[in-house]
Every structure is written in structure tokens, then in C-alpha cells.
Chains A and B, each alone.
Chain A
Amino acid sequence: MATLWISFLAYPLVVLRINTNTKSLDPQWSRLPILAASVFVITIIWRFLLKRRSYLRLTKAVNEASGLSVPKATWLTTVAKSRYRRKLLVVLLVIVAIIPFVSTPYTVNIMTTALIYITLGLGLNVVVGVSGLLNLGYVAFYAIGAYTYALLGYYFGLSFWICLPLGALFSTILGFLLGLPIIRLSGDYLAIVTLSFGEITRLVLTNLGFTRGPRGITNIKPPSFFGLNLNGAPKAFLVEHFGLHPVMDLNRLFIYFIILAVVVLTIICVYRLENSRLGRAWLALREDEIACQAMGINRTRAKLMAFALGSTWAGLAGVVFASQITFINPSSFSFMGSIMILSIVVLGGMDSIPGVIIGAAVLILLPEQLRFFSNYRMLIFGALMVTMMVFRPGGLIQSVREVYIHQASDSPPEPRPVVATPSTMDQEILND
């Protein structure tokens, strides 16, 4: 059934080809059976997977009812949960820090983009994953960051290092201002308003005079290294005395490490926020708004904070982005950008820091590796998302709650728990 239906729907796309020589429609009927056959196969696999899933659910329910324990964690979540995760992160960090020295400038560029998207993903995760507020206009805050640097640099010659905090500040303020009117909305309405906000921002940037409209801003300066342009004198020096390869672009390398530092900072901040009074208020907001209020949490305040703070990271990422590609115009910040960032969060795992990192890696790096698929990129993208939603709605890496280890001390009659703060965790690792 489904096969016939899809064949019929896709028929104009696949079969009808316009023959440009003769300027006539040139149906290629031979394609139809191929399409039908492949759809048929996919449908069967799909059915099979769905069946298997419901079967698994059933057995799980039965097992639970009969008191058998079911392993809950998949290996991915166990890795995240293990107390070695700090070690793992450090190793990962070292690898990522070494990559630019052993690879091509092209790779460095893509990695920089991936790191920018990790920052964006982690920021949006605060809004969507942690607080449960759907924001489809996140790219607007990214644009604010980028334009902050571009415009202030263009008109006033302000440096990267001044604009980095300014960009973050401006998008935070904008997030707050956008939050004010929409805190009463939720669900679909919130999605629509944020979506329009993203588009409006883009249109405003296109039509304002001082943003130079669709022409955008060119020649954005790279970040300076203590007032020096790294590709100038320092590079000449290194090439001459240390045998540095003249092709090496030190500015790009510098940007790479800046964004790497921003990512590390973001991870630390987001992690700390999530395991704090404020972060728990956001989580409560996401889980159940009524119960959240009944716990004495000021809903308005919590939502505004989430919106504003989530936007901060977009501002940071935007400034770095502008310095990376040196040319921005409003079309760099289209709706697709917001969707991309949202997909990173959803695919990687809502409310999961490693999830967002992997989501960004998959969605930014994979398409680059699979260039020959580029015609079908959106198709694969869509299929991936649908599959994910059906089979793993929590994302690749499901959120893992912080485990609080209960440590019995020597004498007190009542056992006291000890929270696994970074310091205790570090000690554990040292003691290993």
C-alpha cells in the first residue's frame, strides 16, 4: 500500500525529466519499478523495526511486572555516567587541540565550524533541552553576536576582544527583551513567535542602512594576539627561525583555539548551571509548569533567565563566527540555521552535554565527509530525524542525571549524602 502511494507521489519527481535538448517532458519509466522496489524494502524494514520495538517494550513491561530487573542504561549512557567522564573529556580535549597541527587548513576550518555549532547547541540546549521552551529563532541571537563585532569593528574599529563580551551582552539583553512579551506563551505559540522573531531580525538586518543591507560587511578583522596580527610579523618570525610552513594560517589557528576555549567554558558553565538551584528550576519548568510553581518557583523569572542566558552563548559564537569567515550578510542567518541548531540538540540528546557535542559533530562533520551525497543531504537529514524521533526520542545520548553518592562517615548516627562535586570527583580520580 505504502509502496504504491509513495510511487504515485514521487512519480513527478523521479520519473519525469525535462529533456533540455528537445524541451519536452521525457518520462523515464524504467525508474518507477526501482523506486517502488526500494520503497517496498524500506517499508518492510520500518515495519519490522516498529514491531521489534513494541515487542521490546512489552517484554520490558512483563519483566518489570514479574520483578525481573532490566538493564536500563545503554553503553553510551554508561560511558557518560562513569566517573571517568572527566578523564574522557580531557583526553578528547587534547585530541581536539592536536588536530590542527596534524591536518589541513580545510579540516581546521570545518572543525572551527563544528565547535561554533557545539557552542550554539549547548546554548540552545539551555532553552530547549533544559527549560523546555521551543525557540525557533535562535539564529537571531547568533546574528546579533556576529553583527556586533562586524559593525563595531567596521565603524569604530573596536577589537575582537572587546566585542566578544559585548556580543554576548547584547544577545543576552535581546533574549531578555524577547522573553518579556512571550513568557506567557507555550508550545506552538512560542514556536511561531520565536520563528517570526528570527525572520524579523534577518529582515531588519537586510533593510537597515547602517548594516549595509544584503551586501553585508566584508573584511572583518581576525582577532588580534596582544595587538598583533598573527599572520604578519609573528608568522614571518616563525617561518624564518622555526621552519614553520608558510602556508599555515596562524589567524585561523588562533580562532580555532579561541572557539575551543569558548566551548570548554560553555561546557563548564552549562554543567554548573544545570546542577544548581537555577538549573533545577528550569528542569522543573520543563517537566511540569504547575508543579514547578507549586514548589515556589517564579515561573516568569525562570523563563526569562533561560531565554536570556541561552542567548548569551549564541552571541559569543556569533562574534567568533564573524571573525572566522570575515564576511557576513543577513543570509548567513536564515531560518535553516535555527533548524540546524535545533536538530543538533534534538539529535544529540535533549539536556545532555555530550549528546549536543556528538550531535554537532554528526550534523556538521558528516555532511562534509559525505559530499557526494550532497544532492540528497536534506533528504537524508529528514529521514535521520524521523528515524530518531521514532526509535530514540531522547536523542543519541540520553540525558543522565547527576548521581549523588552517599558516603557514610565515621560516627554520626544518621548517614549523610555527599554530592559529587568536581572536587570530590577529582579526588576519586587521583585516588584510583
Chain B
Amino acid sequence: MTDRSLYTNHNGDHNGDPVLSTTALSMVFGGLIALDRVDLKVERNSITALIGPNGAGKTTFFNCLTGIYPPTRGAITYQPEKDRQINLKGLAPDRVTQLGLARTFQNIRLFNNLTVLENVLIGCHCRMKAGLFGALLRNRKTMAEEKAFIDFSYDLLVRYGLQASVNELAKNLPYGAQRRLEIVRALATVPKVLLLDEPAAGLNINETNELGALIENIRSQEKLSILLIEHDMNLVMKASHTIYVMDYGKLIAVGAPSEIRQNPAVIKAYLGEE
């Protein structure tokens, strides 16, 4: 019960401008309640973290947001602009991406046998227009679009330090670069909200530190909001403005990093009894 009140308290004193918010979002797999009435807000142009032990339901939450699973109950409200509201619940994943939510995956899901550039170009898919006849005829309009998006992709790769491996197959990249490429590919969809699922998993300390800087860079340069699932507390504490803590499908705490660090419920969930 204390968990619940803690959450409401916080909600009360927040008067922000959320770009994405869920209300009572629930997901049930057979008998398993993977998400239990989750209310979460991502403020515009902020970095919000979602943490919790393994199996808490974080990835499931992402899957519900992006339309991979249809949520059992609840609503997902997306506000690309301040005065425009879209309910994402029940939309197909490609539609969600078109509207401006992009994501990465906990276990990297790159297009392994395609080149780095092709991976990013596929990210541009929903911003491009060329159809069948454009592809076959290669008319001027199609080629101009193709060139423009190759330039765009290349610029992205340059900005995030992957220009050396433009023609490399994605599977041949080192692990850290694969993680980065997945983020760049998501950025190529020109999102308003970027969902990162454990981007630091498998990275060493140096790479994790770089990632922290990178995430902050992305937020400021691309002018977007980030929802971050992460286990690395160091990274989360440094990078995020607001942290949500989830355990067994329920949110058990929410607040600024300093508050979360001292929250007894969080400490209990993470470290067991201590």
C-alpha cells in the first residue's frame, strides 16, 4: 500500500508536459500478470529511466508501447505536439514507429547480413516515399530521394562515430558498435521518443561511460525524449531525470535519482533484505 501512495504523491506534484504517458496499462499472459496497472510519464525532452530486477516486466512494457503486444487493459497516450493526442493502444508496430516512437532491443536485433548503411537506410523506410515503380524506373525523383536519405544516413553514422564501417556487414561489427548502430538505426526513423532497452548490457566500463554521454548527446541534439531501461545504476543515476522502479509488473517507486537511491522499497527489491 505504501508503494501506491508514494506513486500518487509524486504524480500530484508534477505539472509537466508529457510526450508519452500510460494509464493503468496492464498486460496479462495467460495467468501471469506481467504488467499491473502501470502509470508512467515521459516528460518532453527528458531522459526517463525504468529500472527493476530481471523479469519485472520492463521489456514487456516496451513491447506494449510499440505495439508488439496488444496491452490487455489501459491506455497509451502519445502527444507528439502539445495539443495533439494519439492513443497508441492497439496500433500496429510499424504505425507506432511512423508516429514517432523508435526502439532498440535488449538482445540486439540488427539486420545482420546487411551493411551498416543499409541498416540505417531501412530505418529511413517510413520517412521515404518511393514505391515499386520508382524502384524499377529509377526516375529522377526516386534517385534524388535515395541520395538524400543516403546522405542523411551517412551523416548520422558520422555523427555517432560509425563512418569507418559504412560498408561493413552489421554482424561483423564489434559488440559495442552493434549497440551503437542499433541506436543510430532507431534515430533514422526520426523519432520523438526513443526507447532504449538495456543499451549498456554487455558493454565494459569505458563503453558504458561513453554511452552515458551519447544518450545525453542524443537528447540534446536530436531534440527528443528518451525512455531508458537499464541495469547499470551508475549510468541510470547520472543520465536520467526521473526514475521509475518496477517489480513484478508493478511500479514500486518513482522520483529523481537522489530520491530513488534512498528509497527503502527500491533497496529491498534490488538487494533483497538488507
Residue among A295, A305, A309, A422 facing the most chain B CB atoms (10 A cut-off): A295
Specify which of A283, A399, A417 is in contact with B122 (CB 8 Å cutoff). A283
Contacts of A277 in B (CB 8 A): 125, 128, 130-131, 134-135, 146
Point out the residue from A291, A297, A399 that lies within 8 Å of B113, measured CB to CB.
Answer: A399
Beyond A287-B112, A287-B113, whether A293 also contacts B93 by CB under 8 A is: yes
Tell me if B118 is interfacial: C-beta within 8 Å of chain A: yes
* Minimal beta-carbon separation of A123 from chain B (angstroms): 14
Interface string of A386-409 (1 = CB under 8 A from B): 000000000000010111101000
Given the complex of chains A and B, what is the CA–CA distance between A292 and B111 in angstroms? 9
Residue in B125, B143, B150 whose CB lies within 8 Å of A295: B125
- The reply to whether B122 and A297 contact each other, CB–CB distance below 8 Å, is yes
Which residues of chain A come closer than 8 Å to B121, judged between CB atoms?
Answer: 280
User: Is A401 a contact partner of B167 (Cβ separation < 8 A)?
Assistant: yes
Contact B115–A401 (Cβ < 8 Å) = yes
CB pair B167 A287 closer than 8 Å: no
Our pick among A283, A296, A401, A415 for the contact of B169 (Cβ within 8 Å) is A401
Evaluate contact between A283 and B132: CB separation under 8 angstroms: no
Give a binary string over B143-173; 1 marks a CB under 8 Å from any A CB, 0 the rest. Answer: 1001100110011001000010011010000
Check: A273 CB closer than 8 A to any chain B CB. Answer: yes
List of B residues within 8 angstroms of A297 by Cβ? 94, 122, 125-126
- B185 an interface residue at 8 Å Cβ cutoff? yes
With beta carbons under 8 angstroms apart, the residue of A269, A294, A414 that contacts B158 is A414
Chain B nearest Cβ from A349, distance in angstroms: 12
The residue that B167 contacts in the complex, of A278, A283, A403, with Cβ under 8 A, is A403
Contact partner, B118, options A269, A278, A401, A415, Cβ 8 Å: A401
Residue of A nearest to B112 (CB): A287
Known: A279-B135, A281-B125, A283-B122. A417 touches B166 (CB 8 A): yes
Chain B residue at smallest Cβ distance from A309: B132
CA distance A199 to B142 in the complex (A): 40
Docked pose: A280 CA to B135 CA in angstroms: 11
A295 close to B130 (CB less than 8 A): no
Interface check A92, CB cutoff 8 A: no
Question: Is B66 at the interface (CB under 8 A from chain A)?
Answer: yes
Q: Which of A294, A402, A403, A406 contacts B103 (CB 8 A)?
A: A294
A403 CA / B118 CA spacing, docked (Å):
10
- Residue of B105, B113, B185 with highest tally of chain A CB at under 10 A: B113
Chain B positions within 8 Å of A404 at CB level: 115, 117, 150, 154, 166-167
User: What is the CA–CA distance of A273 and B130 in the complex, to the nearest angstrom?
Assistant: 11
Bound-complex Cα distance A276 to B139 (A):
12
Contact B94 A296, beta carbon cutoff 8 Å: yes
B123 within 8 A of A: yes
Residues in A lying within 8 Å of B, measured CB to CB: 269, 272-273, 276-281, 283-284, 287-288, 290-299, 305, 309, 399, 401-404, 406, 414-419, 421-422
